[in-house]
Amino acid sequence: MDELRLTGDGSHTLYSPEYGQTYHSRFGAIEESRHVFLQGVRLEELLKRNETVTLLEIGFGTGLNFWLSARPFLTGNRRLNYRAVEARLLPGEIFSRLNHARLLGLDEPFGAFLRWRTDLDEKNPGTHSFRYNTLRMELFPGDALQADYAENSCHGVYLDAFSPDKNPELWSVDFLQRLYRALKPGGLLATYSSRRSVREALTACGFCVEKRPGPRGKREILSAYKP
What's the CA gap between 59 and 223, in Å, rounded? 17
SS3 state at 126: coil
29, 41, 182 from 46: Cα distances, Å: 23, 8, 17
State mean pLDDT over 156-175: 96
How high is the pLDDT of residue 163? 93
Q: Burial of 27 by CB count in 10 Å (0-12 exposed, 13-18 middle, 19+ buried)?
A: middle
How high is the pLDDT of residue 123? 67
pLDDT tens, position by position, 189-203: 999 999 999 999 999
- Side chain identity at 9, as an amino acid letter? D
How do 21-22 and 12-16 pair as beta strands? antiparallel
What's the CA gap between 129 and 134, in Å, rounded? 13
pLDDT tens, position by position, 128-152: 999 999 999 999 999 999 999 999 9
Domain 29-225 has CATH 3.30.70.1290: no
* pLDDT > 90? residue 176: yes
18, 56, 116, 207 from 66: Cα distances, Å: 23, 10, 15, 24
Outline where DSSP puts E strands in 9-87.
Answer: 12-16, 21-22, 52-58, 79-85
94 and 150 Cβ atoms separated by less than 8 Å: no
How high is the pLDDT of residue 53? 98
* pLDDT > 90? residue 126: no
* pLDDT > 90? residue 212: yes
Question: What average pLDDT does the structure give for the chain?
Answer: 96
**pLDDT class of 207 with cuts at 50, 70, 90:** very high
How high is the pLDDT of residue 1? 83
pLDDT tens, position by position, 17-54: 988 999 999 999 999 999 999 999 999 999 999 999 99
How high is the pLDDT of residue 189? 98
* pLDDT > 70? residue 216: yes
How high is the pLDDT of residue 121? 76
Domain boundaries, the chain: 29-225
